[in-house]
Amino acid sequence: MTSESAALVALVGRPNVGKSTLFNRMTRRRDAIVDSTPGVTRDRHYARVKWEERLFVLIDTGGIDEGDDTMTGHVRRQALQAIDDADIILFLMDGRQGLIPGDTEIVNLLRRSDKQVFFIVNKIDSPEIEIELLAPFWELGVDQLWPLSADHGYGFRTLMEGLSEHLPESSLSDGLPEGTIRLAFLGRPNVGKSSMINTIIGQERMVVSDIAGTTRDSVDTLLSRDSYNYLLVDTAGIRRKGKTTDKLEKFSILKALG
């Protein structure tokens, strides 16, 4: 990392621990769909974040989960790729649920990565419950835990100030490069939108599956080619009116059309 480049910061953790909620709070937008259904985020989501004089690129990832189904494997590979690419890892755990084996397995994975890791215990929204909810997580043998409520903001400034100490000052803009051409990929479910973007950029940026509705949220990818900058937007598949009954799918379609 140099002052001319922005650090990559990845949000990782099990499904439904609050990664997308924290992503939205850090980016000050609501770009990532948040729902109580585990596994809403599947692809990697990128956004530039500026905190005081520090700029970094934040990566939201799908929940790392055990399972032998195809989709779980795809999502896990996307998360592992983000860990490999990142300079700093923000690892979220659920303070209300407590420490479970899935958290411990991810901690072991992160220790092998030899990256700077922030161990964040989410869903703690007051100092009165902080000590009690943090207690089981000290079993991980870490030097510091970061209590947080991604939803309500408790502990957020403390976390960001701690993170900024590991970030270089950057001269990069926190917006898109001037003259960026936006290209949105629209179509029915499972017609190959994600596969086309993966082919264009030359890597598995999007989860691709024969399962209709694999892409649930619009995903932006910045591509530079022949002195031109492109923003490629992969969108959720759009089905005919009357065919959509699931509320999550309806929200995904509204975002695709927005």
Distance of CA 229 to the CA centre of its chain: 23
| Mean pLDDT score of the chain | 77
Region 95-122: what's the mean pLDDT?
Answer: 96
Domains of the chain: 7-164 (3.40.50.300), 181-257 (3.40.50.300)
Adjacent-strand bridge partners of 23: none
The count of residues in the chain is 258
Model confidence at 184, in pLDDT bands (50, 70, 90)?
A: confident
Helix (H, G, I), strand (E, B) or coil at 54: strand
Q: Is residue 39 over pLDDT 80?
A: no
Model confidence at 213, in pLDDT bands (50, 70, 90)?
A: very low
Cα–Cα distance, 75 to 44 (Å, whole number): 9
Which of 209, 211, 254 minimizes the C-alpha distance to 236? 254
